Structure 1
């Protein structure tokens, strides 16, 4: 939703300027100096963070290229295929759309956003081929998009990379940026389940079948085992164990990809380099969007606008008798529905303001990693095939977003508060 993001960006600048003029009229002669210094400092911060992101994204996409050529990503797709066949009963057996959907969702689960988008657009084109009403979203299209916007992310690659970059800038030695792995996985699973159940009820899809029940049972067993393992641990030890689990799984996955690819005779080094080049391009593309949003937020924050917004939300939360420690991270979730780059900028702002290892900083990372840009995804995917009547797709996506946001906040409290 570029138009919506444009309005938000302009509003941050204009509201901040009006607030600055009001403070100037009240005798604050340093306000515009602070705003200008904030702009320069924020632009530098955004560039520094992006530089750190280049290395990590190059590393991860290089590893993913090894996994792709080694056949493990395709194997993963085949494992989850039975589940998706039951969730999309209107797609004819053997139709290529099924394969594209599985590959798209698999890429999203592994954090491969650059690979997931072209696969998703291909899936939409193939779903349009079997759509009897070319201007109206079909049932499989709606299910696909809602699951896409609420999809499970096994490894929040970019969030971990940004956390590591900010931690280095803040001088945190030995910081484990992967300690949000388990909370983010739980948050994104909650969002996924909400979207799946909502659309299944609309489409009267029976979820009580073996592949679907096996999927939920497997995840529930995994979470139950982790709960009994972590239950009773002091908060600090629990955080260490979660970090160990996240970093251990990621390192093990890298070693597995390399070992299998080498065993199959793949040129592992060249595969890594090719994927790393893609990672470099992805990270560089983020720089202007991140800096653009950060400078607008800087004006809004320096002039007191962000404090006013958070203060207003906090007043409502306190009036309801709730704990308000989550409020600084809440704008990330509200923005994520509209714009991924906008939410990324707000997440960075929370981490730099409160600290990457603070509760708001961790919660902002969980929210960023477990919610999705519903408006943007619907606009791009439906627009690519000329769909103008989206039926209940937006409602399903917003339900998944809302439940996912609440779930992420509660999970953040359970793990870190």
Structure 2
């Protein structure tokens, strides 16, 4: 219910603001909101040739392409005059994101189809793990801890192994593998959900822990920083780990208090201490490496572990081939069945993702997001917050809505202020310390047709705020 109302609010308010801007004269056209593409120049006016300054008229007429570009302020987009059919069209500024119709197209072609391919492959592997018995063994090993965190899940339930694989993939920065494992976990949790259209306590806890984004190897962030010319692209690793870990603990406490979980359980404390020990151990190892060693380690560890998981699954399936025979199938046929289920899941979640991304597209292109962002930055600056921090806030504000959008702000901030500036580093920490909340809710709850997300959205947004505050303190401490 909360998600539905929020979706309606940003959708309707964006449309109203677009119409108001058109009739108040702040916008010359609203066609870009429907048909424009990201980074396209925006049409701001049309004039007859004799209505523009004489020097621009002369420059246009001398140019073979009948265009003239003014670039007086290098921090803003060029103003371009294009003469065609007796009219001079004036363009200025760049579009923030794809318009409504291009968003519909790109959601299918650039997001859902690749996601369906990932889902098909990893759901095929998951089917092999299920029939071979590996998922049941993993669930049995981890049951003592998971039943304390998820009290409503029966002991040794298959969802435990799926959630473990999801957390592990997130931890290692394996986004392409994390989503299929997570969707499989939600599907398994739905089997024991007493109210099919309402999110269960276990599903909410899993969603919030997943969205808190605990990450050890921020491979993509390191890549962006290296491309932006950072002297030490991996220097944000430790701040990212600390921030995301605090976000994960906050998510666990917020949801745990709501669900009245027993935090004094010995197995729960042991599991948490084991996780902390593993993080500290890996940090100590990475910290003693030189620059080349860090880059080599971070770029290869995640990929190596993913390859090991694939090889392990296939070899185990070969060894346990009798179990496939008993199930009246073969290893290859089981993989195909799992892959087919992954494709079906992709088709199911498409409308949910489309609805959310179209609303976000309207929200950004309407100008509302920019106004809200500027006001928040203004308030922070008047509270004495350093400009280096307020300059990075757009990344934090957009991150819950759109990973691609916040990534664009991240790259822009590093290009504008420098990859090794406080703004560039803080933007990097913002980007890797949490998930895209609204996208995650649309995908995960949409995959199992959950209509009532209960308090999941509120809890996840609180965790996002905690991650932002933590990132600011951690970045100030380190840099």
State the shift of 1:224 in Å.
0.9
The match for 2:385 among 313, 318, 321 is 321
- In the alignment, what sits opposite 2:110? 49
Corresponding residue SS for 1:282: helix
In the TM superposition, what are the counterparts of 1:201-280 in structure 2 within 5 Å? Answer: 207-231=263-287, 238=294, 241-265=297-321, 266=324, 267-280=330-343
User: Is the aligned partner of 1:123 residue 2:192?
Assistant: yes
User: Which consecutive unaligned segments of at least 5 residues does structure 2 have?
Assistant: 38-98, 168-177, 225-235, 325-329, 415-423
Relative to the length of structure 1, the TM-score reads 0.66
Q: How does 1:192-207 map to 2 (within 5 A)?
A: 192-198=248-254, 207=263
Match of 2:60 in 1: none
CA distance in 2, matches of 1:353, 1:4: 24
The residue that corresponds to 1:10 in the other structure is 12
Partner of 1:149: 207
In the aligned structure 2, how far is the partner of 1:414 from the partner of 1:66? 46
1:150 is paired with a residue of what secondary structure? helix
Residues of 2 paired with 1:239 and 1:413: CA distance? 24
Q: CA deviation digits over 1:7-62, x for unaligned, max 9? A: 2222223223323433xx25x54x33433324244333333312332322222222
Residue 277 of structure 1, CA deviation = 1.6
> Helix, strand or coil: the match of 1:13?
helix
Deviation by residue 1:169-208 (Cα, 9 ceiling, x = unmatched): xxxxxxxxxxx99998876654443244456667876544
* Residues 86-165 of structure 1 aligned to structure 2 (within 5 Å): 86-87=148-149, 96=154, 99=157, 102=160, 105-106=163-164, 109=167, 111=179, 112-125=181-194, 144=202, 147-152=205-210
In the alignment, the residues of structure 1 paired with residue 207 and residue 310 of structure 2 have an alpha-carbon distance, to the nearest angstrom, of: 27
Structure with higher Rg: it is 2
1:62 matches 2:124: yes
Q: Using the alignment, how far apart are the partners of 1:199 and 1:313 within structure 2?
A: 27
Structure 2: distance between partners of 1:275 and 1:412: 43
- Does 1:72 find its partner at 2:141? no
1:330 counterpart residue number: 396
Are the aligned partners of 1:188 and 1:369 in contact in 2 as well (CA < 8 Å)?
Answer: no
- 1-structure distance, mates of 2:243, 2:139: 22
Residue 331 of structure 1: how far off its partner (Å):
3.3
Q: Is the 8 A contact 1:181 1:246 kept in 2?
A: no
Q: How far apart are the structure 2 equivalents of 1:214 and 1:80?
A: 12
CA distance change for structure 1 residues 87 and 96 in 2, over 3 Å: closer, same or farther?
Answer: closer
Taking the aligned partners of 2:260 and 2:343, their CA distance within structure 1 comes to 44
Give the alignment's TM-score, normalised by structure 2. 0.59
Change in 2 beyond 3 A, CA 1:269/1:120: same
**CA gap 1:402/1:60 in 2 versus in 1, 3 angstroms:** same
Structure 2 contact 247–464 (Cα < 8 Å) conserved? yes
- Report Cα offsets for 1:251-309 as digits up to 9, x if no partner: 21111111111211143322222222222223334444444444443344334333222
In structure 1, the residue matched to 2:36 is 37
Q: Give the secondary structure class of the aligned counterpart of 2:390.
A: coil
Contact 1:77 1:102 in 2 (8 A): yes
Name whichever of 65-74 and 324-333 sits farther off.
324-333
- Alpha-carbon distance in 2 for matches of 1:321, 1:290: 36
**Alignment: residue pair count:** 362
Q: Deviations over 1:80-139 (max 9, x none)?
A: 2111344577x7xxx94773774674475464343333433343429xxxxxxxxxx9xx
CA contact (8 A) 1:61 1:275 kept: yes
CA distance in 2, matches of 1:183, 1:260: 38
Query: Which has the larger share of strand?
Result: 2
Check whether the contact 2:207–2:456 (CA below 8 A) recurs between aligned residues.
no
1:367 maps to 2:428? no
User: Post-superposition shift, 1:215?
Assistant: 0.8
Aligned partners of 1:291 and 1:99: how far apart in 2?
A: 32
Partner in structure 1 of residue 345 of structure 2: 282
Alpha-carbon offset, residue 227 of structure 1: 1.0
Q: Distance in 1 between matches of 2:183 and 2:370?
A: 35
The alignment yields a C-alpha RMSD, in angstroms, of: 4.9
